[in-house]
Amino acid sequence: MDTQHLQAFVAIAENGSFSAAGERLHLTQPAISKRIALLEEQIKAKLFDRVGRQVVLTQAGNLLLHKATNILNEVTATKRAIADLRGNVSGKLSIATSHHLGLHYLPPYLREFSTSYPEVKLDLHFLDSEHAYDEILQGRFDIAIITLALEQDARINSNILWRDQLQFVAAPTHPLAALANIQLADLSPHQAIMPDTNTYTTRLIKELFDQQGQSLDITMVTNHLDTIKMMLSIGLGWGVLPSSIIDNQLRVLDVNCPPISRSLGCIYHNQRSLNNAASAFVNLLKQKLVA
């Protein structure tokens, strides 16, 4: 089977449409359709049914999907292993990272790495940490630099690189900013602005409120911390942000609770050996940073 045909098939199965698969692979929709037609002709089976505007896998498609994913992963791993035999740090390094880490932590290390290893092509993707975690489990990236999961999957190798101290904050004009010795019960009646409730950060805060039997009124949600910072700075609510991005636009609230931090770091799949470029980048981070 042609690996390009399998790539198109997997992309459609995962994205739910030919057009979305085309965008992911940087191909036109007719080119995607042609690859699927050739694959279906080769295996003598229909792979997709059209249901309204969506496409769904047939029984043959479901059977092929797992096999195709394994084949593509093995081909990628083999190419990396052969390239690494030369000992050169070259080729492509695919990294998934959150917007916060990609904007506020990684730039100096990416710059140094690119200078030290000019033959490596960096392939950087900005994703929510939870999405990046799933992508590593699926073997789609070499490494991810993200907020680490509260519960680690046994298939994931995880290295803590930073501890991000979190602070309760609001605008200086917000009613909470004038209070001292604030309890969680004092925060509950006020609107909170947080990342999505499925994110590791918001789960940390929700667990804190649940432990004290307090409600958490999250009425505005965005996963971009810089956007949350802007909304908080104009008095739309209170929130929790890393100390590293708090400035004079915000007031740190005097909340009576233990210090809150989250772990930031690098992850990769245990069953996917790091290529030379990924190993070099991970080693650079470990040498430069102290957890």
Whether residue 53 is found in the same domain as residue 95: no
Whether residue 168 is found in the same domain as residue 256: yes
pLDDT digits (tens, 9 = 90+) for 200-213: 889 999 999 999 99
Could you give phi then psi for residue 204, rounded to 5 degrees? -60, -45
Distance, CA of 93 to CA of 85 (rounded, Å)? 16
196 close to 225: Cβ distance less than 8 angstroms: no
Q: Is the per-residue pLDDT at 173 higher than 60? A: yes
**What domain range includes position 227?**
163-262
What type of residue is 102?
G
Domains: count for the chain: 3
3-state secondary structure of 224: coil
pLDDT band at 290 (very low <50, low <70, confident <90, very high): very low
Whether residue 54 is found in the same domain as residue 190: no
pTM as predicted: 0.71
Whether residue 36 is found in the same domain as residue 72: yes
Q: What CATH number is given to the structural domain containing 59?
A: 1.10.10.10
Q: Is the per-residue pLDDT at 128 higher than 60? A: yes
pLDDT digits (tens, 9 = 90+) for 57-112: 999 999 999 888 888 877 877 776 676 666 678 888 999 999 999 999 999 999 99
Could you give phi then psi for residue 151, rounded to 5 degrees? -125, 120
Whether residue 8 is found in the same domain as residue 142: no
Beta bridge partners, 126, equal: 97
Q: What CATH number is given to the structural domain containing 234?
A: 3.40.190.290
Task: Please tell me which residue, 76 or 145, carries the higher pLDDT value.
Answer: 145
Helices (DSSP H) in 121-262: which residue ranges?
129-137, 184-187, 200-211, 225-233
